[in-house]
Copies of this chain bind each other. A is one copy, B any other.
Amino acid sequence: MKKFAVVMAGCGVFDGAEIHEATLTLLAIAQQGAHYEIFAPDVSQHHVINHYTHKEMPEKRNVLVESARIARGQIKPLSQFRAGDFDAIIFPGGFGAAKNLSTVAFDGANAKVNPDVESAVKAMHKAGKPIGALCITPTIIARILGNIEVTIGDDPGTIATIEKMGGKHIKTTHGEVVVDKKNNVFTTPCYMLDATIVQIYEGAMNVVGEMMKTAGL
């Protein structure tokens, strides 16, 4: 059975992993006959957002600890990820990816990337293994790998950021997947578009399906 590593950025769209994208990525992997293990970096969240009022809360939370909510406790620190143990790696979206896994939300094309995320992506890329990225996370992959072909949907600001990073952007709509065959990078817009949960499920199914098909998993 093929094995995916799923990397999460917390728990909640505004300061962590987007919960629907994360859950439906797990479902898409399991429904298509593969296995998953979940990882997150053991670092503090950039901040905590009250998802009811949308205001910042005077709290501190940890990315690994909060991601464990989506993982039902079955999660490891990303520092323990070994590319040799996995056939593929995939990143669900959410603002946490742009705040905790990287500083894309603040620094755009000059973003710093969490060192464990950078190591994991570089190791999988070097091994020629597929890398999947939903929603905003293609920006992280572009920041690490530079000249790759990705999609985040159609947001002009984010497209400009990707192009400044050296990436090539392809506009897409709901459920579409951009496949960079040379780099084995697979991306889909999900909630970067104004989407329904049904469209998120289609996006997750399609990107995982393309990874398995194109990469011969």
Cα A21 to Cα B179 in complex, Å, equals: 31
Q: By the criterion CB–CB under 8 Å, are B23 and A198 in contact?
A: no
A13 with B201, Cβ < 8 A, contacts A20-B26, A23-B24, A52-B64 known: no
Distance of A122 from chain B, by nearest CB (Å): 26
Distance of A11 from chain B, by nearest CB (Å): 6
Number of A residues near B (Cβ < 8 Å) is 35
Query: Chain copies in the assembly?
Result: 2
Q: Which residues of B contact A198 (CB under 8 A)?
A: 27, 30-31
Q: Which residues of B contact A31 (CB under 8 A)?
A: 198, 201
Q: Which A residues fall within an 8 A CB radius of B?
A: 11-14, 16, 18-20, 23-24, 26-27, 30-31, 50-54, 59, 62, 64-66, 68-73, 75, 196-198, 201
